[in-house]
Structure 1
Amino acid sequence: MGKPFYVAAVMSLFAATAASAQSSATVYGIVDAGLTRESGASGSITKLATGVQSGNRLGFKGTEELGNGLKANFQLESGFDLDTGTSRQGALFGRQAYVGLSGLFGAVNLGHQYDPIYLSLDSIDPFGLGLPGQVANLMNTSNIRTDNAITYSSVPVHGFSFNGLYGMGEMPGNRSANKTLGASANYINGPVFATLAYDKLNNDSRNPASAGHRLVLLGATYNLGPVLAHAGVETEKGIGASDADFRSIMVGASIPVGRGSIMASVISKTDRCKANRGAKQVGIGYLYSLSTRSKLYTSYARIDNQNAASYAVGDASGGGSAVERGQASSAFTVGMNHKF
């Protein structure tokens, strides 16, 4: 996709938004970059990393009041690399792209959207699924985002809420291939947040190596005053030819310090098959607020792999440097994140 098309699409969106007096639209984004030192199979490397705490993005979202509490909503979000200026996710709006309705019944959206289990992991991870310490280095986030998705989000009732997703596989001659089912139930009451999430991804006929999985996540945070405690347990079982059978346990904490906060977590991933693909991760970081929109960050994490495992320390936008089976992986980063 060429730059002229990209620019034309963005300018057309601005024009359409300005012409609609009944609609309100917002342009937003995140720019994030840092210096990262990674250790992997080929030795150590220092690089200018992009999207370390949060993936870089440019987005548009809007709402139109339809009356009687009913609203039409849309969101379009494009990812890019700040170090090279190139687009990510292989699509113009590869991060999010959906349209839907919301009201007293909740919200129904159609398009390219986040999986419920990814959102649940984000809510319990001290690192917010970013920086080298993120839980996604060992815990399964499924698709992260699902194509051809129909989602429903309920309004909170006595602290309880529900999210559901159905991703249509759209594979001719095979109605089950590449189909995704996801759901989460959440509870908020005072210092307590709890989430229970489920994800089922059927085998993808476009990728024979992927046999699919079933994921179940139970997680929570508890505000102890000066310390926010984090915990989560995830089980992963393979479907069909996959022999995956993992259990991951995470405990962590967020501690306010000055104008920032310390983040830390420990994750243990156990392989309950004979393949011996378990691993352990330790992560620590510090986030310093320059303002409500600008932050400095630093983080370090190390993964110790078992004999057949090769997990690497990554961040919000990168999977880290590849490692040999059974070898350790580590990363240290310092950088800046700005929201607009």
Structure 2
Amino acid sequence: MKKLPLAFAMLAAFAGSAAAQSNVTIYGLIDGGVEHQSGGAAGSVTKVTSGVQNASRIGFKGTEDLGGGLSALFTLENGFALDTGAALQGGALFGRQAFVGLKGGFGTVTLGRQYTPIFTSLCGVIDPFACGLAGNAANLMSQGGTAATGGGPRTNNAIKYAAPVISGVLAEVTYGLGETAGDTSALRTLGGQVGYAAGPLVVRLAHNNVNNATATARSRVTTLGAKYDFGMAAVHFAYAVNKNAVAGNTNVAQADTRDVMLGVSAPVGNGTVLASYIRKSDQTAVGNDANQFALGYTYALSKRTNLYTSFARIDNTVANNAVGFYTAGNATDAGSGDRSFNVGVRHTF
């Protein structure tokens, strides 16, 4: 762990010296709150926690103009826990994002550890809670991900191509190499999304396919989402089909489920009211269904600092009869029970 401060110091020095040749930015987000989780098998717990609304991070990103409309770009982003100072993402130095690429009239090509198309679609645009706070859509809905990293919102060893946005239409594809000796299909990931944005309307269709231990065991997630902003409020909708979910994509991997999310976000003074309902329907004979109800509020103290509070409750069906089968978490914590309440502050720089 002593190597981490040295690594950050070296990167900061590099950022200063490289500024003359390229555009390098140091940025970050610090999120800390108090959370009460209840309804778990081990009982209730109250804790100071990090990354409730958005995960705490520090990052370095930059671009260099290569001439002729071509530019180079990179992003290196570290995730950490504010309450303990520990590194997240398994202790990886840049576990949140780490990629380099080229951008031009042809679009953008990047190589490295990158977000899945489903994550950027569901969490970046569609979910009113942006996959954070207690109402995190990822409590019940998959973000894609690979078996190699335990599911979740990122793909290792990824090659991503994003086409230029034309008349509001976007398209991208991500290919993650499994890098398994003797079997090029094992752990291989293929994902993509298409979208349209014009005025108040945003629509996204995203897909993620992961080959697990063998090429015949595939995890497939497809999500269709939309958001329409009426001015006084915006409505949010998502529908997802999950087949053989990778453990970690949701609280519990299920063989075959359908998810529906309805949400609303409305500006109120200097803040925003958030609400959503998610229904998870198990298509197998087991019948492990769940419903999530969530309400939240964020209040802007400035352009970079806001307060937040939120509450979520998950009703698990009698069929599974297991306390904590699906749990209410937040942007960094999967949660320990079926109810969660939090308050906190978030600052970006």
Fold shared by both chains (TM-score > 0.5):
yes
Given the superposition, is the C-alpha separation of residues 53 and 243 from structure 1 closer, same or farther in structure 2, using an over 3 Å criterion? closer
Corresponding residue number in structure 2 for 1:11: 9
Question: Could you tell me whether the CA contact under 8 Å between 2:50 and 2:82 is conserved in 1?
Answer: yes
Tell me whether 9-18 or 262-271 shows the greater mean CA deviation.
9-18
Given the superposition, is the C-alpha separation of residues 70 and 159 from structure 1 closer, same or farther in structure 2, using an over 3 Å criterion? same
Take 2:245 and 2:54, find their aligned partners in 1: how far apart are those partners?
A: 31
Secondary structure of 1:6's counterpart equals helix
Measure how far apart 1:114 and its partner are: 0.2
Corresponding residue number in structure 1 for 2:328: 313
Identity value in percent: 47
| Match status 1:303 vs 2:314 | yes
Using the size of structure 1 for normalisation, the TM-score is 0.93
Amino acid at match of 1:44: S
| Match status 1:149 vs 2:158 | yes
Corresponding residue number in structure 2 for 1:326: none
Question: Could you tell me whether the CA contact under 8 Å between 1:203 and 1:239 is conserved in 2?
Answer: no
Measure how far apart 1:170 and its partner are: 0.2
Question: Could you tell me whether the CA contact under 8 Å between 1:202 and 1:239 is conserved in 2?
Answer: no
Take 2:181 and 2:130, find their aligned partners in 1: how far apart are those partners?
A: 37
Measure how far apart 1:16 and its partner are: 2.5
Structure 2 unmatched ranges of 5 or more: 146-152, 247-252
Question: Could you tell me whether the CA contact under 8 Å between 1:253 and 1:263 is conserved in 2?
Answer: yes
Structure 1 unmatched ranges of 5 or more: 324-328
Question: Could you tell me whether the CA contact under 8 Å between 2:254 and 2:282 is conserved in 1?
Answer: no
Q: 1:215-254 maps to which residues of 2 (within 5 A)?
A: 215-238=221-244, 244-254=255-265
**1:78-106: per-residue Cα shift (whole Å, max 9, x none)?**
00000010101120000000000011111
Amino acid at match of 1:227: A
Amino acid at match of 1:25: V
Measure how far apart 1:113 and its partner are: 0.3
**Out of 279, 285, 293, which is 1:282 matched to?**
293
**Out of 284, 287, 290, which is 1:273 matched to?**
284
Secondary structure of 1:43's counterpart equals coil
> Superposition RMSD on alpha carbons, in Å?
1.6
Take 1:74 and 1:64, find their aligned partners in 2: how far apart are those partners?
A: 9
Given the superposition, is the C-alpha separation of residues 204 and 288 from structure 1 closer, same or farther in structure 2, using an over 3 Å criterion? farther
Take 2:27 and 2:339, find their aligned partners in 1: how far apart are those partners?
A: 33
Measure how far apart 1:14 and its partner are: 2.3
**1:124-181: per-residue Cα shift (whole Å, max 9, x none)?**
0000110010110001112211110000112210110012100100011111111111
Q: How many equivalent residue pairs?
A: 327
Measure how far apart 1:49 and its partner are: 1.4
Corresponding residue number in structure 2 for 1:108: 109
**1:257-281: per-residue Cα shift (whole Å, max 9, x none)?**
0100100000000001011111000
Amino acid at match of 1:92: L
Secondary structure of 1:273's counterpart equals coil
Secondary structure of 2:288's counterpart equals coil
Take 1:86 and 1:95, find their aligned partners in 2: how far apart are those partners?
A: 14
Question: Could you tell me whether the CA contact under 8 Å between 2:178 and 2:189 is conserved in 1?
Answer: yes
Q: 1:1-340 maps to which residues of 2 (within 5 A)?
A: 2-3=1-2, 5-20=3-18, 21-39=20-38, 40-90=40-90, 91-122=92-123, 123-143=125-145, 144-204=153-213, 211-238=217-244, 244-306=255-317, 307-308=319-320, 310-321=325-336, 323=337, 329-340=338-349
Take 2:254 and 2:48, find their aligned partners in 1: how far apart are those partners?
A: 37
**1:19-77: per-residue Cα shift (whole Å, max 9, x none)?**
33211100000100111110111111111111000000010000000001111000000
Amino acid at match of 2:270: R
**1:222-265: per-residue Cα shift (whole Å, max 9, x none)?**
0112010000000001289x971100000000011010010000
Take 1:19 and 1:257, find their aligned partners in 2: how far apart are those partners?
A: 44
Take 1:239 and 1:32, find their aligned partners in 2: how far apart are those partners?
A: 30
Secondary structure of 1:48's counterpart equals strand
